[in-house]
Amino acid sequence: MPVPDSKSSDEQKEAWRRARLLVGAAVRNERLRAGLTQEALALESGVTRNMLIHVEHGNRGVSFERIYDLAEALGIDAAALMPPSDPASGEGR
């Protein structure tokens, strides 16, 4: 069972924030590389444009399933959107 956010340590919350930023940057970079607008990627992947905006800015996490939907729409492997095992490193794949 997931731990409620209020029960998470400050270190864990910071690690999640860094991971969201890394995933969002990867989505944006791959979207631009593919020459897609946010609207086009949203339509292709099945996410809303508003959600995509929040994901790209690192303000919102994205579900495991949506990572695959975004990767498929971008024509890449889902692993390309995932941060390293230790988001504290601040480096993407």
Per-residue pLDDT tens digits for 59-89: 999 999 999 999 999 999 999 999 877 655 5
Q: How far apart are CA 67 and CA 70, in angstroms?
A: 5
Q: How far apart are CA 3 and CA 21, in angstroms?
A: 21
For residue 5, is pLDDT > 60? yes
Domains, in order of start, for the chain: 10-82 (1.10.260.40)
For residue 1, is pLDDT > 90? no
Per-residue pLDDT of 7-25, as tens digits, reads 789 999 999 999 999 999 9
**Pick the residue with more confidence: 6 or 19?**
19
> Who contacts 39 (Cβ-Cβ below 8 Å, separation ≥6)?
49
pTM reported for the whole predicted model: 0.83
Which among 47, 57, 48 is positioned nearest to 23, based on CA atoms? 57
> Who contacts 68 (Cβ-Cβ below 8 Å, separation ≥6)?
78
Confidence grade of residue 2 (pLDDT, cut at 50, 70, 90): low
